[in-house]
Amino acid sequence: MSPAGGAPRGGKKGRRPAAAAGASATSGAAGSGGRGTGRGRSHATSNRSKANAAPERGPLTPREQRAKRAAKKAAAVAKGKSVARTKAGAGRGAQVRLGGDDAAGPGRPTDRRGRAPAPRTNKDKGLGGEQVEGRQAVRELLLANRRKVREVWVAVSEHDDPEAVDDLAELAMSVGVPVRDVSRAKLFAEARTESPQGVLAKAHGLPEAELDQLAKRPRKGPAPFLLAVDGVTDPGNLGALLRSAEGAGVNGVVLPRHRAVHVTPTVAKAAAGAIEHLPMTVVGGLPAAISKLQGLGVLVVGLDMGGDTSLFELPVADEPVMIVLGAEGKGLSRLVAQRCDVVASIPLGGQLASLNVAAAGVLACFEIARRRLAAGGAPGSTTGS
């Protein structure tokens, strides 16, 4: 017997002919040193290939493992097919309402709780507003027609008003926006607010206005009536403030780029559609923006509990004006307060030292509106002219 299946060693019996030995050498195992005539060529070639091959990689890093799992999950979701059905007489063109939870096309990666990641903002941290939730906020988004709406998600259930949700679906299709019917669980997984009321919309981000344009006085209509916030980080407060400001006639909002909340889904829902009618701008520094507006003829009034002038005694009539509100607790920052033309306070008769920023903003905005009406003008205009 030949060892290890190689060519037989020399001996009196079983010696193979030279031709047979040569044939065996091409398929047998290579010997050691100069004795190896079996398995020679093929095994030598294999050894050279292994030597030239890249070294084997070790185990994947945690980051690579997460990326691999996310890619697999996205590929699995992407296999789902959209089922579309057209709805006759739904307004302009052939409008489509997508049915089923997998009618989204390519899937999005999710976190451990199954929630999709929040929409990313661009590098300069713009206004936001890419996702709008709540019936009133979505309705105003569709009616304002100020920016493109990519799609509307609806989930009809006994927990929400089915008739109201269906009305929104009809409205969306009538203006050419695709509507997707999803389960309530899927809607809640995508939502960023606690109660989306059975509907959410995905749209392009809010357009930013120019600061100079906000301060420009129109040929016809009221003078600029602006609102700025200094360090307000609570989305519920900002949303409520924007809703009240729009009702009082404010026609422009100034938000700082840093250390302040912008238009998140919570802000959009609390504002109840006001973001669709209020021109807004984002500035790198509020003190510099105040100085620029003052140069354009805008009276800047800061509201702070330490102000030495009562809100109800402001010398404001129909001139361009901007109210600046500070964060709860901290109030106006030192530099912002120094730049304001007047720092006013709200006289309080109770035991509490201050008001919620949204409540203080309501009083300030409507006090300015009252003074303008008393002077024979209009509070403001949100047409952006």
Mean pLDDT by 10 residues, the chain (385 residues): 44 45 43 46 52 59 62 53 33 46 43 48 69 96 95 83 89 95 93 93 95 89 93 94 96 93 96 96 95 96 91 88 89 94 93 89 95 77 42
298 and 257 together in one domain: yes
Domain boundary among 150, 182, 203: 203
Q: What is the pTM of this model?
A: 0.68
pLDDT of residue 90: 38
Q: Which of 170, 190, 188, 191 is nearest to 179 (CA)?
A: 170
101 and 174 together in one domain: yes
- For residues 254 and 226, is the Cβ–Cβ distance under 8 A? yes
185 and 228 together in one domain: no
Domain region containing 153: 78-107+131-203
Residue 4 forms part of a structural domain: no
In angstroms, rounded to a whole number, what is the distance separating the alpha carbons of residues 350 and 368? 24
264 and 367 together in one domain: yes
Residue type present at position 322: M
In angstroms, rounded to a whole number, what is the distance separating the alpha carbons of residues 181 and 179? 7
In angstroms, rounded to a whole number, what is the distance separating the alpha carbons of residues 133 and 267? 10
227 and 342 together in one domain: yes
**334 Cβ neighbours under 8 A, 6+ residues apart:** none
pLDDT of residue 26: 43
pLDDT of residue 317: 77
pLDDT of residue 99: 54
Residue 381 forms part of a structural domain: no
Q: What is the CATH number of the domain that holds 249?
A: 3.40.1280.10
In whole angstroms, how far apart are CA 13 and each of 9, 16, 20, 25, 31? Answer: 10, 9, 15, 19, 21
